[in-house]
Structure 1
Amino acid sequence: MLAENGDAALLGRVAQGDSAALARLYEAHAGRLFGYLLRLTGDRMTAEEVLQDTMLAVWRSAGGYAGGSRVTTWLFGVARRQAYYRLRGTPPPAPMQPVDHPDHAPGPDELAIAAAGGTPVAEAVRRLPDHHREVIGLVFVAGLPLADVAEILGVPVGTVKSRLHHARAALARTLATQGVPE
Protein backbone atom coordinates (compact mmCIF):
# COMPACT_ATOMS: atom_id res chain seq x y z
CA MET A 1 0.00 0.00 0.00
CA LEU A 2 2.96 2.29 0.67
CA ALA A 3 4.15 1.98 -2.94
CA GLU A 4 0.64 2.72 -4.17
CA ASN A 5 0.51 5.90 -2.07
CA GLY A 6 3.88 6.87 -3.50
CA ASP A 7 2.63 6.24 -7.03
CA ALA A 8 -0.44 8.38 -6.41
CA ALA A 9 1.79 11.18 -5.13
CA LEU A 10 4.03 10.83 -8.20
CA LEU A 11 1.00 10.95 -10.48
CA GLY A 12 -0.17 14.10 -8.71
CA ARG A 13 3.23 15.68 -9.33
CA VAL A 14 3.08 14.60 -12.99
CA ALA A 15 -0.29 16.37 -13.24
CA GLN A 16 1.47 19.53 -12.04
CA GLY A 17 4.07 19.23 -14.81
CA ASP A 18 6.90 17.55 -12.87
CA SER A 19 8.89 15.62 -15.51
CA ALA A 20 11.14 14.06 -12.84
CA ALA A 21 8.04 12.49 -11.28
CA LEU A 22 7.11 11.06 -14.69
CA ALA A 23 10.62 9.61 -14.99
CA ARG A 24 10.26 7.96 -11.56
CA LEU A 25 6.83 6.58 -12.48
CA TYR A 26 8.36 5.25 -15.70
CA GLU A 27 11.24 3.59 -13.83
CA ALA A 28 8.82 1.95 -11.40
CA HIS A 29 6.41 0.55 -14.00
CA ALA A 30 8.07 0.42 -17.43
CA GLY A 31 9.29 -3.17 -17.13
CA ARG A 32 5.87 -4.63 -16.35
CA LEU A 33 4.12 -2.36 -18.86
CA PHE A 34 6.63 -3.29 -21.56
CA GLY A 35 6.21 -7.01 -20.85
CA TYR A 36 2.45 -6.67 -21.12
CA LEU A 37 2.67 -4.60 -24.31
CA LEU A 38 5.16 -7.01 -25.86
CA ARG A 39 2.74 -9.89 -25.29
CA LEU A 40 -0.17 -7.79 -26.53
CA THR A 41 1.50 -6.49 -29.70
CA GLY A 42 3.81 -9.43 -30.43
CA ASP A 43 6.56 -7.07 -31.61
CA ARG A 44 9.34 -5.43 -29.60
CA MET A 45 9.49 -2.22 -31.66
CA THR A 46 5.72 -1.76 -31.52
CA ALA A 47 5.71 -2.45 -27.77
CA GLU A 48 8.44 0.17 -27.26
CA GLU A 49 6.48 2.71 -29.31
CA VAL A 50 3.27 1.98 -27.42
CA LEU A 51 5.10 2.31 -24.11
CA GLN A 52 6.28 5.77 -25.16
CA ASP A 53 2.74 6.61 -26.33
CA THR A 54 1.51 5.43 -22.93
CA MET A 55 3.88 7.66 -21.01
CA LEU A 56 2.93 10.61 -23.21
CA ALA A 57 -0.74 9.88 -22.49
CA VAL A 58 0.06 9.67 -18.77
CA TRP A 59 1.78 13.06 -18.99
CA ARG A 60 -1.24 14.57 -20.72
CA SER A 61 -3.96 12.95 -18.61
CA ALA A 62 -2.44 12.59 -15.12
CA GLY A 63 -4.78 15.31 -13.87
CA GLY A 64 -7.72 13.11 -14.81
CA TYR A 65 -6.74 10.36 -12.39
CA ALA A 66 -9.48 10.43 -9.77
CA GLY A 67 -8.13 7.77 -7.42
CA GLY A 68 -10.99 5.35 -8.11
CA SER A 69 -8.50 2.58 -8.89
CA ARG A 70 -4.91 1.78 -8.07
CA VAL A 71 -2.34 3.77 -10.06
CA THR A 72 -0.98 0.52 -11.49
CA THR A 73 -4.43 -0.43 -12.76
CA TRP A 74 -4.88 3.02 -14.27
CA LEU A 75 -1.47 2.81 -15.99
CA PHE A 76 -2.26 -0.57 -17.53
CA GLY A 77 -5.60 0.77 -18.71
CA VAL A 78 -3.81 3.67 -20.43
CA ALA A 79 -1.30 1.23 -21.96
CA ARG A 80 -4.10 -1.02 -23.21
CA ARG A 81 -5.89 1.88 -24.88
CA GLN A 82 -2.68 3.11 -26.50
CA ALA A 83 -1.95 -0.40 -27.80
CA TYR A 84 -5.38 -0.64 -29.36
CA TYR A 85 -5.00 2.78 -30.97
CA ARG A 86 -1.72 1.58 -32.48
CA LEU A 87 -2.97 -1.87 -33.50
CA ARG A 88 -6.13 -0.48 -35.10
CA GLY A 89 -4.12 2.14 -36.93
CA THR A 90 -6.08 4.91 -35.23
CA PRO A 91 -3.85 7.70 -34.00
CA PRO A 92 -4.26 8.53 -30.33
CA PRO A 93 -5.76 11.91 -29.50
CA ALA A 94 -3.34 14.74 -30.25
CA PRO A 95 -1.72 16.41 -27.26
CA MET A 96 -3.06 19.78 -26.26
CA GLN A 97 0.44 21.23 -26.14
CA PRO A 98 3.96 20.05 -27.03
CA VAL A 99 5.38 17.76 -24.35
CA ASP A 100 8.99 17.11 -23.46
CA HIS A 101 9.21 13.72 -21.77
CA PRO A 102 12.20 11.62 -20.73
CA ASP A 103 13.59 9.09 -23.18
CA HIS A 104 14.98 5.98 -21.50
CA ALA A 105 16.85 3.04 -23.01
CA PRO A 106 15.42 -0.41 -22.29
CA GLY A 107 16.51 -1.91 -18.99
CA PRO A 108 17.75 -5.45 -18.32
CA ASP A 109 14.25 -6.71 -17.43
CA GLU A 110 12.93 -5.52 -20.80
CA LEU A 111 15.85 -7.14 -22.64
CA ALA A 112 15.25 -10.44 -20.78
CA ILE A 113 11.57 -10.42 -21.73
CA ALA A 114 12.44 -9.76 -25.35
CA ALA A 115 15.12 -12.48 -25.32
CA ALA A 116 12.54 -15.05 -24.20
CA GLY A 117 10.51 -14.25 -27.29
CA GLY A 118 11.70 -17.34 -29.17
CA THR A 119 10.91 -19.99 -26.55
CA PRO A 120 8.24 -22.64 -27.15
CA VAL A 121 6.12 -21.11 -24.38
CA ALA A 122 6.35 -17.63 -25.94
CA GLU A 123 5.40 -19.08 -29.32
CA ALA A 124 2.43 -20.90 -27.78
CA VAL A 125 1.29 -17.69 -26.07
CA ARG A 126 1.63 -15.79 -29.35
CA ARG A 127 -0.81 -18.23 -30.98
CA LEU A 128 -3.53 -17.68 -28.36
CA PRO A 129 -6.56 -15.58 -29.26
CA ASP A 130 -6.14 -11.91 -28.34
CA HIS A 131 -8.47 -12.03 -25.32
CA HIS A 132 -6.56 -14.99 -23.84
CA ARG A 133 -3.12 -13.55 -24.64
CA GLU A 134 -4.11 -10.28 -22.99
CA VAL A 135 -5.18 -12.00 -19.75
CA ILE A 136 -1.96 -14.07 -19.70
CA GLY A 137 0.06 -10.88 -20.16
CA LEU A 138 -1.69 -8.99 -17.39
CA VAL A 139 -1.67 -11.85 -14.87
CA PHE A 140 1.68 -13.53 -15.49
CA VAL A 141 3.85 -10.91 -17.17
CA ALA A 142 2.55 -7.84 -15.37
CA GLY A 143 1.72 -9.76 -12.18
CA LEU A 144 -1.57 -7.96 -11.61
CA PRO A 145 -4.29 -9.29 -9.30
CA LEU A 146 -7.40 -10.67 -11.02
CA ALA A 147 -9.55 -7.80 -9.74
CA ASP A 148 -7.20 -5.28 -11.36
CA VAL A 149 -7.19 -7.26 -14.62
CA ALA A 150 -11.00 -7.26 -14.59
CA GLU A 151 -11.05 -3.49 -14.08
CA ILE A 152 -8.55 -2.88 -16.90
CA LEU A 153 -10.48 -5.09 -19.31
CA GLY A 154 -13.89 -3.88 -18.18
CA VAL A 155 -15.18 -7.39 -17.52
CA PRO A 156 -16.24 -9.29 -14.37
CA VAL A 157 -13.59 -11.16 -12.36
CA GLY A 158 -15.33 -14.42 -13.30
CA THR A 159 -14.69 -13.68 -16.97
CA VAL A 160 -11.01 -13.08 -16.23
CA LYS A 161 -10.85 -16.41 -14.38
CA SER A 162 -12.58 -18.18 -17.26
CA ARG A 163 -10.25 -16.65 -19.87
CA LEU A 164 -7.24 -17.51 -17.75
CA HIS A 165 -8.43 -21.10 -17.33
CA HIS A 166 -9.02 -21.53 -21.08
CA ALA A 167 -5.70 -19.85 -21.95
CA ARG A 168 -3.77 -22.12 -19.59
CA ALA A 169 -5.55 -25.20 -20.95
CA ALA A 170 -4.76 -24.16 -24.53
CA LEU A 171 -1.13 -23.56 -23.61
CA ALA A 172 -0.89 -26.94 -21.92
CA ARG A 173 -2.34 -28.68 -24.99
CA THR A 174 -0.01 -26.83 -27.35
CA LEU A 175 3.08 -27.51 -25.26
CA ALA A 176 2.11 -31.18 -24.79
CA THR A 177 1.91 -31.66 -28.56
CA GLN A 178 5.37 -30.10 -28.85
CA GLY A 179 6.76 -32.37 -26.16
CA VAL A 180 7.49 -29.48 -23.76
CA PRO A 181 6.86 -30.39 -20.09
CA GLU A 182 4.25 -28.23 -18.31
Structure 2
Amino acid sequence: MTRGWRGGPQTWEAHLLARIAGGDAGALTQLHERYSGPLFVFLYRLSGDRGTAEEILQDTLLAVWRSAATYRSRSSVSTWLFGVARRQAHNRLRGAPPPTAAEPSDGADLRAGPEELALGGDRVRRALVRLPLPQREVVVLAFLGDLSHQEIAEVLDIPVGTVKSRLHHARATLRGCLDERMA
Protein backbone atom coordinates (compact mmCIF):
# COMPACT_ATOMS: atom_id res chain seq x y z
CA MET A 1 0.00 0.00 0.00
CA THR A 2 0.99 3.59 -0.42
CA ARG A 3 2.94 5.10 2.44
CA GLY A 4 0.76 7.23 4.68
CA TRP A 5 -2.46 5.78 3.28
CA ARG A 6 -5.25 5.61 5.84
CA GLY A 7 -8.02 3.13 5.25
CA GLY A 8 -8.35 -0.54 4.49
CA PRO A 9 -6.99 -2.37 1.46
CA GLN A 10 -10.39 -2.28 -0.26
CA THR A 11 -10.48 1.50 0.06
CA TRP A 12 -6.90 1.72 -1.21
CA GLU A 13 -7.69 -0.50 -4.21
CA ALA A 14 -10.82 1.54 -5.03
CA HIS A 15 -8.63 4.65 -4.79
CA LEU A 16 -6.22 3.02 -7.27
CA LEU A 17 -9.09 2.45 -9.70
CA ALA A 18 -10.14 6.08 -9.34
CA ARG A 19 -6.56 7.14 -10.12
CA ILE A 20 -6.51 4.81 -13.14
CA ALA A 21 -9.78 6.35 -14.33
CA GLY A 22 -8.02 9.72 -14.12
CA GLY A 23 -5.22 8.49 -16.38
CA ASP A 24 -2.58 7.61 -13.75
CA ALA A 25 -0.43 4.90 -15.37
CA GLY A 26 1.49 4.43 -12.10
CA ALA A 27 -1.73 3.34 -10.41
CA LEU A 28 -2.26 0.74 -13.14
CA THR A 29 1.26 -0.52 -12.50
CA GLN A 30 0.49 -0.87 -8.78
CA LEU A 31 -2.73 -2.74 -9.53
CA HIS A 32 -0.84 -4.97 -11.96
CA GLU A 33 1.81 -5.74 -9.34
CA ARG A 34 -0.85 -6.75 -6.83
CA TYR A 35 -3.16 -8.79 -9.08
CA SER A 36 -1.21 -10.05 -12.10
CA GLY A 37 -0.27 -13.31 -10.35
CA PRO A 38 -3.76 -14.44 -9.32
CA LEU A 39 -5.30 -13.21 -12.56
CA PHE A 40 -2.66 -15.00 -14.63
CA VAL A 41 -3.24 -18.30 -12.80
CA PHE A 42 -7.00 -17.93 -13.34
CA LEU A 43 -6.53 -17.17 -17.04
CA TYR A 44 -4.00 -19.96 -17.51
CA ARG A 45 -6.38 -22.48 -15.95
CA LEU A 46 -9.16 -21.28 -18.27
CA SER A 47 -7.10 -21.18 -21.45
CA GLY A 48 -4.61 -24.01 -20.83
CA ASP A 49 -1.89 -22.05 -22.62
CA ARG A 50 0.69 -19.69 -21.12
CA GLY A 51 0.93 -17.41 -24.17
CA THR A 52 -2.83 -17.10 -24.47
CA ALA A 53 -3.14 -16.39 -20.73
CA GLU A 54 -0.50 -13.65 -20.99
CA GLU A 55 -2.33 -12.07 -23.94
CA ILE A 56 -5.65 -12.18 -22.11
CA LEU A 57 -4.00 -10.63 -19.05
CA GLN A 58 -2.78 -7.76 -21.23
CA ASP A 59 -6.27 -7.42 -22.71
CA THR A 60 -7.61 -7.35 -19.15
CA LEU A 61 -5.25 -4.55 -18.11
CA LEU A 62 -6.20 -2.56 -21.19
CA ALA A 63 -9.89 -3.07 -20.38
CA VAL A 64 -9.24 -1.93 -16.78
CA TRP A 65 -7.47 1.17 -18.11
CA ARG A 66 -10.43 1.96 -20.33
CA SER A 67 -13.21 1.09 -17.89
CA ALA A 68 -11.88 1.91 -14.41
CA ALA A 69 -14.39 4.76 -14.18
CA THR A 70 -17.23 2.21 -14.33
CA TYR A 71 -16.26 0.63 -11.00
CA ARG A 72 -19.04 1.45 -8.51
CA SER A 73 -17.95 -0.34 -5.30
CA ARG A 74 -20.88 -2.79 -5.47
CA SER A 75 -18.32 -5.59 -5.25
CA SER A 76 -14.72 -5.82 -4.14
CA VAL A 77 -12.05 -4.62 -6.53
CA SER A 78 -10.69 -8.17 -6.82
CA THR A 79 -14.13 -9.50 -7.77
CA TRP A 80 -14.50 -6.73 -10.35
CA LEU A 81 -11.05 -7.53 -11.78
CA PHE A 82 -11.77 -11.25 -12.05
CA GLY A 83 -15.00 -10.35 -13.85
CA VAL A 84 -13.11 -8.18 -16.34
CA ALA A 85 -10.55 -10.98 -16.85
CA ARG A 86 -13.30 -13.54 -17.36
CA ARG A 87 -15.00 -11.41 -20.01
CA GLN A 88 -11.70 -10.91 -21.80
CA ALA A 89 -11.05 -14.67 -21.66
CA HIS A 90 -14.47 -15.45 -23.10
CA ASN A 91 -13.91 -12.94 -25.90
CA ARG A 92 -10.57 -14.53 -26.74
CA LEU A 93 -11.52 -18.19 -26.25
CA ARG A 94 -14.86 -18.10 -28.05
CA GLY A 95 -14.60 -20.77 -30.74
CA ALA A 96 -11.08 -21.79 -29.68
CA PRO A 97 -10.29 -25.47 -29.21
CA PRO A 98 -10.54 -26.70 -25.61
CA PRO A 99 -7.33 -26.48 -23.56
CA THR A 100 -4.97 -29.41 -23.31
CA ALA A 101 -3.30 -30.69 -20.19
CA ALA A 102 0.19 -29.92 -21.51
CA GLU A 103 2.52 -27.82 -19.40
CA PRO A 104 4.09 -24.73 -20.93
CA SER A 105 7.29 -25.60 -22.78
CA ASP A 106 9.31 -22.60 -21.59
CA GLY A 107 9.62 -23.78 -17.99
CA ALA A 108 7.01 -21.37 -16.66
CA ASP A 109 6.59 -21.39 -12.91
CA LEU A 110 3.05 -22.72 -12.77
CA ARG A 111 3.74 -25.42 -10.26
CA ALA A 112 0.79 -26.84 -8.43
CA GLY A 113 -0.34 -24.84 -5.44
CA PRO A 114 -0.90 -26.41 -2.02
CA GLU A 115 -4.48 -27.39 -2.88
CA GLU A 116 -3.43 -29.16 -6.06
CA LEU A 117 -0.44 -30.83 -4.43
CA ALA A 118 -2.65 -32.16 -1.67
CA LEU A 119 -4.99 -33.57 -4.29
CA GLY A 120 -2.40 -34.96 -6.69
CA GLY A 121 -1.17 -31.90 -8.67
CA ASP A 122 -0.68 -33.08 -12.24
CA ARG A 123 -3.66 -35.43 -12.13
CA VAL A 124 -5.87 -32.58 -10.93
CA ARG A 125 -4.63 -30.27 -13.71
CA ARG A 126 -5.37 -32.91 -16.34
CA ALA A 127 -8.80 -33.52 -14.83
CA LEU A 128 -9.56 -29.77 -14.71
CA VAL A 129 -9.17 -29.38 -18.47
CA ARG A 130 -11.81 -32.07 -18.97
CA LEU A 131 -14.43 -29.94 -17.21
CA PRO A 132 -16.81 -27.81 -19.27
CA LEU A 133 -15.75 -24.14 -19.12
CA PRO A 134 -18.59 -23.04 -16.77
CA GLN A 135 -17.59 -25.70 -14.23
CA ARG A 136 -13.86 -25.04 -14.67
CA GLU A 137 -14.40 -21.32 -14.00
CA VAL A 138 -16.19 -22.03 -10.74
CA VAL A 139 -13.58 -24.54 -9.57
CA VAL A 140 -10.66 -22.24 -10.40
CA LEU A 141 -12.26 -19.24 -8.71
CA ALA A 142 -13.23 -21.26 -5.63
CA PHE A 143 -10.13 -23.32 -5.04
CA LEU A 144 -7.30 -21.41 -6.72
CA GLY A 145 -8.76 -17.90 -6.51
CA ASP A 146 -10.08 -18.53 -2.98
CA LEU A 147 -13.28 -16.58 -3.70
CA SER A 148 -16.48 -17.13 -1.75
CA HIS A 149 -19.64 -18.43 -3.43
CA GLN A 150 -21.04 -14.89 -3.37
CA GLU A 151 -17.91 -13.43 -4.99
CA ILE A 152 -17.91 -16.15 -7.66
CA ALA A 153 -21.57 -15.39 -8.38
CA GLU A 154 -20.67 -11.71 -8.82
CA VAL A 155 -17.70 -12.48 -11.11
CA LEU A 156 -19.74 -14.85 -13.27
CA ASP A 157 -22.97 -12.85 -13.01
CA ILE A 158 -24.96 -15.93 -11.97
CA PRO A 159 -26.99 -16.81 -8.87
CA VAL A 160 -25.20 -18.29 -5.85
CA GLY A 161 -27.29 -21.46 -6.28
CA THR A 162 -25.84 -21.91 -9.77
CA VAL A 163 -22.33 -21.57 -8.34
CA LYS A 164 -23.10 -24.30 -5.81
CA SER A 165 -24.63 -26.52 -8.48
CA ARG A 166 -21.66 -26.12 -10.82
CA LEU A 167 -19.26 -26.86 -7.98
CA HIS A 168 -21.23 -29.97 -7.07
CA HIS A 169 -21.19 -31.27 -10.65
CA ALA A 170 -17.54 -30.33 -11.13
CA ARG A 171 -16.53 -32.21 -7.98
CA ALA A 172 -18.40 -35.28 -9.18
CA THR A 173 -16.71 -35.08 -12.58
CA LEU A 174 -13.29 -34.50 -11.03
CA ARG A 175 -13.82 -37.38 -8.63
CA GLY A 176 -14.70 -39.62 -11.56
CA CYS A 177 -11.65 -38.49 -13.56
CA LEU A 178 -9.34 -39.01 -10.60
CA ASP A 179 -10.87 -42.40 -9.78
CA GLU A 180 -10.30 -43.47 -13.41
CA ARG A 181 -6.64 -42.61 -13.14
CA MET A 182 -6.27 -44.45 -9.83
CA ALA A 183 -7.72 -47.66 -11.27
Is 1:168 the counterpart of 2:174? The answer is no
Is 1:23 the counterpart of 2:48? The answer is no
For 2:13, which of 3, 7, 11 is the aligned residue?
7
Query: Partners of 2:181 and 2:109 in 1: how far apart?
Result: 23
Structure 1 residue 112, shift from structure 2 partner: 3.4
Q: C-alpha deviations, 1:77-99, integer Å up to 9, x for none? A: 1101111111127xxxxxxxxxx
Q: Which amino acid aligns with 2:169?
A: H
Is 1:151 the counterpart of 2:157? The answer is no
Counterpart position of 1:123: 126
Unmatched segments (≥5 aa) in structure 1: 90-110
Is 1:75 the counterpart of 2:81? The answer is yes
Structure 1 residue 142, shift from structure 2 partner: 1.3
Alignment of structure 1 residues 106-121 onto 2, 5 Å: 111-113=108-110, 115-116=111-112, 119-121=122-124
Is the partner of 2:88 in helix, strand or coil?
A: helix
Q: C-alpha deviations, 1:56-76, integer Å up to 9, x for none? A: 110111111122211111101
TM-score by length of 1: 0.81
Counting aligned pairs with the same residue, the percent is 54
Query: Partners of 2:54 and 2:147 in 1: how far apart?
Result: 20
Is the partner of 1:143 in helix, strand or coil?
A: coil
Deviation >2 Å, runs of 4+: 115-118
Query: Partners of 2:64 and 2:89 in 1: how far apart?
Result: 14
Structure 1 residue 176, shift from structure 2 partner: 1.3
Q: Which amino acid aligns with 1:112?
A: D
TM-score by length of 2: 0.81
Query: Partners of 1:81 and 1:10 in 2: how far apart?
Result: 21
Unmatched segments (≥5 aa) in structure 2: 1-6, 96-107
Counterpart position of 1:104: none
Counterpart position of 2:104: none
Q: C-alpha deviations, 1:80-136, integer Å up to 9, x for none? A: 1111111127xxxxxxxxxxxxxxxxxxxxx432x4498111000011111111101
Q: Which has the higher contact order (CA 8 A, sep 6+)?
A: 1
Q: Which amino acid aligns with 1:72?
A: S
Q: Give the number of aligned pairs.
A: 158
